[in-house]
Amino acid sequence: MVSVYISALEGKMAIEEKRLMYIFPILVFMYVILVGLFVQTILLPYLIPSAHYGEGIINGTDTIYFHEESKKLAKEISLYGWSRWSLKPEGQIMIGITSLIYVLTGIYKPYVMLFYNALLHSLSALFLMKLLTNYGISIKYAIFGSLPLVFFPSNLMWISQIHRDGLYILGFLAFFLSISYIHKKGYKTLLYSLFLQAFGLFLIYLAREHMVLPFKYVFSFLFVVSLLFLALKFIGLFKENLLVERQVLSRFTVLAFAVVIVSSILAPQTQTQTQTQTQTQTQTQTQTQIKWEKEIFVPEKIDKILYNIAVWRYMFLNVYFKDAKGNIEQDFIPQKASDFLLYLPRGLYVGLFYPTPEFWFKEGGTTGGTVARAIIPFETVVVWIGIIGFVFAFYNLPNRFSILIILLLCLMFIYLHVITEPNLGPIVRKRYVFISMLIGFSYSYLIWRLSLWLKRA
């Protein structure tokens, strides 16, 4: 009788815990709406007026451009019809989305975008929670792991404003979630994983089109390697439990091939005339500054991509953000392909552990930047602890093969953002999803282990 009662109680607790999977994202949705309204109607106008551009917009941000251009486009649509609308006018997805919502609501104010921001942020929290549960972490501890993603103050730059970072974050979390399913059985699970993968890549393409290209090259390599290992396993040269199980490797091979196909379709094959002119101009301006050396072991196409990254880095530091206070590593400009490899340890250190104490509580380029520098130290400490904790989580959680793939992707994209835009602001913003992913594993695992230790004590 007692055993039956205990079983019923455990079943009821399991049901209650599953409800948390859906209750928490709803709470996140409401949080974004409330905090967004607070920032736009109280914090900026009354508490930090010097950081207020107007209409609830933070001064010196891309939101100004997105809002003004969206208003213009919305007015044109109202006058001349929907033929004037496109999803990515001027290559900017946020102008297309914002103008659409402005026209549909008839309200040309940034606060109407808070519902859009809340939807993206709540789905991101849901995807991260689901991913963590795929590694044996219970839902209540997965919620703890998603708290940094949800509540870090630095995300106010996009959850309370008009920005594409929310779309970018959701895209990567959908993609990472697809990888977490490779250990699960069933064709339906594989199809669901493929759908998530394509959905994630598409959102990344919409947010930052150029970031799809690395998937094409990285997963082309991974596909060939995994196919080779799979062939060796099938002919019996590798034992079943060596490296990774055959079923898992088979699923990953399918996923890797699908990534190559989808990214090849989405990745920009040609440049617009404006982009080509801009690239030609920047290369002409920098050819006397960057004496690029072609290395014989690097394929021509890869070498050209790396050269363009070096050109962009130079222009970022010396033209576009020349006087920005947040610029870092200004003396490093790659001059050959191997420089990227040699800079890898330093670049990952910057991406994972910056801003270090010498940047804390300093004056920023704007009032908003100064406020951010006062807040970011507390986030940074949480990140440092989380990165250390990730090591323990990695070695103790099951299905480490897919966690390793996620880790390598996070490190690769963190490095790409550091190498292309060496400024604290863009680095903190664009690494957000990858850092949140890594420390999500860390805190959910550490709190789970702590709770077990407390129960034994």
Let me know: does 206 contact 97? Beta carbons within 8 Å.
Answer: no
By DSSP bridging, strand 52-54 and strand 57-58 are antiparallel
Give the per-residue pLDDT at 21. 83
Amino acid (1-letter code) at residue 201: L
- 273 pLDDT band (50/70/90 cuts)? very low
More confident residue, 279 or 8: 279
Let me know: does 325 contact 291? Beta carbons within 8 Å.
Answer: no
Q: Determine if residue 188 is left, alpha or beta; phi over 0 gives left, psi from -120 to 50 gives alpha, anything else beta.
A: alpha
Give the per-residue pLDDT at 11. 46
Would you give the DSSP letter of residue 81?
Answer: -
Give the rounded distance of the alpha carbon of 69 from its chain centre. 25
Let me know: does 314 contact 284? Beta carbons within 8 Å.
Answer: no
Tell me the domain boundaries of the chain. Answer: 1-161, 164-271, 323-457
Sign of CA dihedral 332, 330, 217, 246: positive
Greatest alpha-carbon pair distance for the chain in Å reads 85
Q: Is 228 exposed, middle or buried (0-12, 13-18, 19+ CB in 10 A)?
A: exposed
201-205, 212-216, 362-366, 370-374: lowest mean pLDDT where?
362-366
Instruction: Give me the phi and psi of 53, to 5 degrees please.
Output: -75, -35
Give the per-residue pLDDT at 14. 55
Rounded to whole angstroms, the Cα distance separating 43 from 56 reads 9
Sign of CA dihedral 67, 64, 211, 197: negative
Q: Is the pLDDT of residue 1 over 60?
A: no
Would you give the DSSP letter of residue 423?
Answer: B
More confident residue, 15 or 228: 228
The reply to whether omega before 89 is within 30° of 0 (cis) is no
**Which residues are registered as beta bridge partners of 336?**
293
Give the per-residue pLDDT at 320. 83
Query: Tell me: the pLDDT tens digits for 46-86?
Result: 998 988 999 999 988 899 999 999 999 999 999 999 999 99
Q: Taking residues 188-194, report their average pLDDT.
A: 93
More confident residue, 358 or 364: 358
145-149, 270-274, 324-328, 339-343: lowest mean pLDDT where?
270-274
Rounded to whole angstroms, the Cα distance separating 294 from 303 reads 7
For the chain, give the mean pLDDT. Answer: 87
The structure tokens 């390697």 sit at 225
Would you give the DSSP letter of residue 293?
Answer: B
The structure tokens 């060796």 sit at 232
**How far, in Å, are 300, 313, 314, 336, 432 from residue 307 at the CA level?**
10, 10, 11, 8, 26
Let me know: does 104 contact 112? Beta carbons within 8 Å.
Answer: no
Give the per-residue pLDDT at 408. 95
Let me know: does 135 contact 403? Beta carbons within 8 Å.
Answer: yes
6-20, 25-39, 283-297, 403-417: lowest mean pLDDT where?
6-20
Give the per-residue pLDDT at 3. 44
Give the per-residue pLDDT at 239. 58
For residue 454, what are the contacts with CB-CB under 8 A and spacing of at least 6? none
Sign of CA dihedral 180, 224, 188, 116: positive
- Look up the pTM and report it: 0.90
Instruction: Give me the phi and psi of 440, to 5 degrees please.
Output: -65, -45
Q: Taking residues 93-115, report their average pLDDT.
A: 96
Q: Taking residues 437-444, report their average pLDDT.
A: 96
> Which H/E stretch holds residue 57?
strand 57-58
Let me know: does 151 contact 175? Beta carbons within 8 Å.
Answer: no
Give the per-residue pLDDT at 10. 42
Give the per-residue pLDDT at 368. 60
